[in-house]
Amino acid sequence: MNKLLICLFVAFLAIGCTTTSAPTCEQDHTFSMEFTNGSNDSYDLYINDKFQQIMGAKSKVTYDIPAGYWSAEVVQRNGYAVYPTDNVYSNTYQSCTDYYIVF
C-alpha cells in the first residue's frame, strides 16, 4: 500500500511540475501589426523595404514583425488622378505587442 501511495505521489508531483514554454512572440522577438485598407483602391504593402503583397480594397492582413525599429510603406495602385497616395509608417516596438494601421 505504501508503494502505491508513493507512486501516486510521484505521479501527481510530476504532473503538477510541468513547465510552460514562452509565447512564440517572446521566443521570436516579434510584435504583431495589423494593416487595414479602408479604401476602395488596392495598395502595395512594403515592410522594411521589402514588398509583401497587394492589399485589395477593404482588406485586412496581420504580420509578425521583428521587434525594434521597423518601417512600412503603402502605395496606392489604382484610383488616383495624378499621383498615388504613398504613406510611410515607422517606429520602434517591443516584442509581444499588437498594433494597428488603417489607411
Q: Is 94 exposed, middle or buried (0-12, 13-18, 19+ CB in 10 A)?
A: exposed
CA distance 66 to 25: 9
Domain 26-102's class?
mainly beta
Q: Are 100 and 36 within 8 A, CB to CB?
A: yes
Q: Are 74 and 90 within 8 A, CB to CB?
A: no
Give the tens place of pLDDT for each residue, 31-45.
999 999 999 999 999
Q: Find the length of the chain.
A: 103
CA distance 19 to 6: 22
Question: Grid coordinates representing 49?
Answer: 523595404
Give the tens place of pLDDT for each residue, 61-98.
999 999 999 999 999 999 999 999 999 999 999 999 99
- The pTM of the full predicted model, rounded to 2 decimals, is 0.77
The domain locations on the chain are 26-102
